[in-house]
Each structure stands twice: as C-alpha cells, then as structure tokens.
Amino acid sequence: MTDLFERRLAERLQAHPLPDEILDLGIRTVRLGERMRRRRIAGVVPSHRRLADDPGRSWTVATCGRYRGAAGNQPVDLGTSDFWRPETVILDIGHYLQGAAPDLSTVRGRSVWLPSGEMVKLPAGQFGSIAEYGSGVAWLTRAGGEVRLNVSSERLPGAAKGSDVTGAEPGPRGSVLIRTKAGPVFLTSARKLLTPSQPELRTKRVVATADAIWVENGGRVLRVPMANLESGSFQAKSYPQWQKVVLGDPRADRVLLINDLGCQTLVNGSTAEPLWHSCDWQLNAFSSDGRFGVGRSVMYGTIGIIDLNTDKLALGINPDMTPVGSRMVFDDANRLNFTVGNPAAGGPIDASFAFMACDLAGQCWFSTARYADPIDFVLPNRK
C-alpha cells in the first residue's frame, strides 16, 4: 500500500463509522495495517543495501526497529513520512530487559520512591496526583469530609471538599496547586495557603507556568502573573486568539493552548510568545529546558519526541500492541519515562504495570520491576 492510498483509506473509514455491533473491528484493522506497513518498510532496507556502492554507507537494521547507516551511526531517511522516519522504536515489551532506575520520583502502590532509593509510605486516604514541593513531595488526603495537604497544618478551604479535586500539582514559584470548582488554591513555598478571590479565577480550568497561571473561563484564556504569589493581588490579561488551556509546565515554563481550529500552540509561559504550532500532534509533556516535547500523532496514534527548536522528530515510538499510559515525564537527561500495560490484559490504557524509559538515541528499557499495584509519576516542580 502507498502512503497516499493509506491516507485516503483512513479518511474514508473515519467518514463512515462502523456499526456498533462490529466490536473492535476498526481497531483491529488499523493494527493490521500498521503491521503490514512495518513489513513493507523492512523490505525496503535490503534494497537500499544492494544499491549502496560505498561499503561505509551500507544499511543496517537495529533490533528495536530503528534503521541507521553504519557511517557515523546517522539515521537513514527512507523517503517515508515523518511518522515512519528511520528512528522509530517499535515497542515490543517482550524484547526489553530491566535497566537503569528512573531518575525521578515515582509512585508505586502505596509508596513514593525517590531517586535516592528512599521509600516514603503513603497514608490511608491519600488520593490523586502527587507533586514535588521543595526538597520533598506534597499529596492530598481526604478523611471525614475534609481535604488536607501533608505539608501544611492548615485546613484547605471548604470548596476543596468536592470530587473535582484531582490531587496536588506543581504551581508557580515552586508552589503547590490544587484545582477546585471555586478556583485554584495554592500552598506557597513559604507554606502559606492562598485562595485568590478574583471572579475570573473561579474555574478548575487552570494550569501553571514558572511565574504565572493560565486560566480558561467563559470561553476566554487569561494569563495571571504570580511572580509575587504571597501578595494575593493579581491582574489578568486576556488572549482572545486562544480558546482553551491544555497543559502547563512550571519547570519548562511552557503552556499549551488550543486555537479556534482545535490545533495546539505552545507558548512561552512568561512572555506569551508562540513557540510551536501543530494540528498533527497533541503534546502532553516537555523536557525541563523546554527544548523537547512528547505527544501522540493525531492520525496514527503513535508517540513522537519532537525537537521544538527545529520542529524535527527526534525519536518516534510506535506502541504497536503495547498500551502506553497517558502520563509521560522527561528527566533532566532528556530521557522519556512512561508507563506500559500488559497487552494481553485489556482494560483501561492506564492500567499500567511497569515503568519504561527511552533515551533520544532510541535505547529503551524497563526502569522498574513489574508491579501489580497502581503506578504513577510524582509531577516535577520548578526548583
């Protein structure tokens, strides 16, 4: 099948949904097409080998599905689309061994595991995401109708009792952010609880960057500077060119927004300068320096690490039949850490059982043993 034929086939399939009684047929058809495509690309490699006159440029096939030239170990462009560039890793978890441990904090069952190897037990009643806070970690507990932070002796406001509270997240200026329907609640780096009273902040559609929060309220996107978080006095600025907030990262100082066409724009969190734009990729994590982003291809559902400075694909990861969790985190060495599930188990995609990591060279490994209990990442904060 040609690239053009596959695109047209995908468009026709999307335009004519399958009836409900044919369960999973569409998914199985797409997966079969992906396997056929990999076989076709693999068949191209020997022909390149035969055509190469220079022995120093003979082609080799890496064991994980990346195609590289022997001379300088540089990627070989086989003339296919960006999704199928040579540096694509095919995740077949049966081929990977356990390697280096995660260089970031993780949640495994009812414990937080720090990069030092220290383990911190979580209490009964702990729920939701966990965030770095100073040199430690912050989490929420719910008991007797109250929600509390483990790093504060103060009670959270009554509005934080609702089921909309999803956990502790990194906030601006090293704070912790708790989303509620009544608006964000912050624990500042000085351990002071703060609840802004501005009407435009009364929404749970809030994300944080290094020195600000970005808010979606009433169809408007607002940036609220919080360089002086303890002051409690903030002035919002509206950005009508964007419709929704998607993701904020205080560590990278980046925010991801949606325009009126439904496409993503990456913006500098401090200056509001647009840095990257795409209708083909949906990003969900950034490296600590903001250079790399990772997301999924809208058309193919595969994972790509993109160099946001050059708009080039640095590494492609094809999950194949391996469920990959939605939460992904870069460590400070720009290794991508993610969770994987058991392909034979079915169930929710985030029913993960192990952590994996891939570096930008395309080397991947299990970074932990396999766990029966739920696992997740501690969300990195700005130091």
Per residue in 257-312, pLDDT (tens digit) is 999 889 999 999 999 999 999 999 999 999 999 999 999 999 989 999 999 999 99
Q: Answer whether 126's CB lies under 8 Å from 111's CB.
A: no
Pairing of strands 312-318, 88-90: parallel
- Strands of the sheet containing 237-238, edge to edge, are 206-208, 212-217, 220-225, 237-238
Q: Is residue 48 part of a domain?
A: yes
Q: DSSP string covering 38-100, please?
A: HHHHHHHHHHHHHH--SGGG-EEE-TTS-EEESGGG-B---S--GGG-TTEEE--GGG--B-S
Determine which helix (DSSP H) or strand (DSSP E) holds 284, and give its type and residue range. Answer: strand 281-286
Above 70 in pLDDT, residue 76? no
Q: What pLDDT, on the 0 to 100 scale, is given for residue 271?
A: 94
- Per DSSP, 122 falls in state P
CA angle 130, 345, 106 (to 5 degrees): 20
User: Which of the pair, 55 or 200, is modelled with greater confidence?
Assistant: 200
Q: What pLDDT, on the 0 to 100 scale, is given for residue 64?
A: 28
Cβ-Cβ contacts under 8 Å for 296 (sequence gap 6 or more): 281, 282, 284, 302, 303, 304
Residues 121, 45 within the same domain:
no
Strand partners, 140: 127, 149
Q: Is residue 371 part of a domain?
A: yes
Residue type, 142: R
- CA pair distance 93, 96, nearest whole angstrom: 6
Residues 129, 215 within the same domain:
yes
Q: What pLDDT, on the 0 to 100 scale, is given for residue 47?
A: 28
Instruction: From 84, 119, 146, give the residue that closes a domain.
Output: 84
- CA pair distance 382, 210, nearest whole angstrom: 7
Averaged pLDDT score across all residues of the chain: 80
Residue type, 222: L
Is residue 159 packed enough to be buried (19+ CB in 10 Å), middle (13-18) or exposed (0-12)? middle
Q: Answer whether 26's CB lies under 8 Å from 18's CB.
A: yes
CA distances from 353 to 342, 370, 375 (A): 7, 6, 7
Q: How many domains does the chain have?
A: 2
Residues 211, 352 within the same domain:
yes
Cβ-Cβ contacts under 8 Å for 217 (sequence gap 6 or more): 200, 201, 202, 203, 205
Above 90 in pLDDT, residue 19? no
Q: Is residue 28 part of a domain?
A: yes
Residues 311, 358 within the same domain:
yes
* C-alpha count within 13 angstroms, C-beta hemisphere, residue 201: 27
Q: What pLDDT, on the 0 to 100 scale, is given for residue 44?
A: 34
Instruction: From 30, 53, 84, give the residue that closes a domain.
Output: 84
Residues 78, 206 within the same domain:
no
Q: What are 329's two structure tokens?
A: 């985190």
Q: Is residue 91 part of a domain?
A: no
Q: What pLDDT, on the 0 to 100 scale, is given for residue 373?
A: 80
Q: What are 362's two structure tokens?
A: 């395309």
Above 80 in pLDDT, residue 22? no
Among 216, 212, 206, smallest CA distance to 228 is for 212
Q: Is residue 94 part of a domain?
A: no
Confidence band (pLDDT; 50, 70, 90) for 156?
confident
Q: What are 267's two structure tokens?
A: 């913006």
Q: What are 197's two structure tokens?
A: 């009273």
Residues 223, 311 within the same domain:
yes
Q: Is residue 90 part of a domain?
A: no
Is residue 294 packed enough to be buried (19+ CB in 10 Å), middle (13-18) or exposed (0-12)? buried
Q: What radius of gyration do the chain's Cα atoms show? A: 23
DSSP 3-state assignment of 272? coil
Residues 47, 192 within the same domain:
no
Residues 149, 274 within the same domain:
yes
Q: Which CATH number goes with the domain that contains 342?
A: 2.130.10.10
Above 70 in pLDDT, residue 71? no
Confidence band (pLDDT; 50, 70, 90) for 351?
low
Print the domain residue range for 37. Answer: 3-84
Instruction: From 84, 119, 145, give the residue that closes a domain.
Output: 84
- Per DSSP, 324 falls in state E
Above 80 in pLDDT, residue 114? yes
Q: Is residue 283 part of a domain?
A: yes
- CA pair distance 155, 149, nearest whole angstrom: 8
Q: Is residue 229 part of a domain?
A: yes
Q: What pLDDT, on the 0 to 100 scale, is given for residue 229?
A: 81
Residues 37, 128 within the same domain:
no
Pairing of strands 364-366, 88-90: unpaired
Residues 80, 168 within the same domain:
no
Residues 79, 121 within the same domain:
no
- CA pair distance 274, 221, nearest whole angstrom: 14
Of 23-37, 64-78, 248-262, 305-319, the least confident: 64-78
CA distances from 366 to 100, 179, 281, 318, 340 (A): 8, 33, 26, 16, 9
End-to-end Cα spacing for the chain: 50
Residues 76, 146 within the same domain:
no
Q: What pLDDT, on the 0 to 100 scale, is given for residue 57?
A: 26
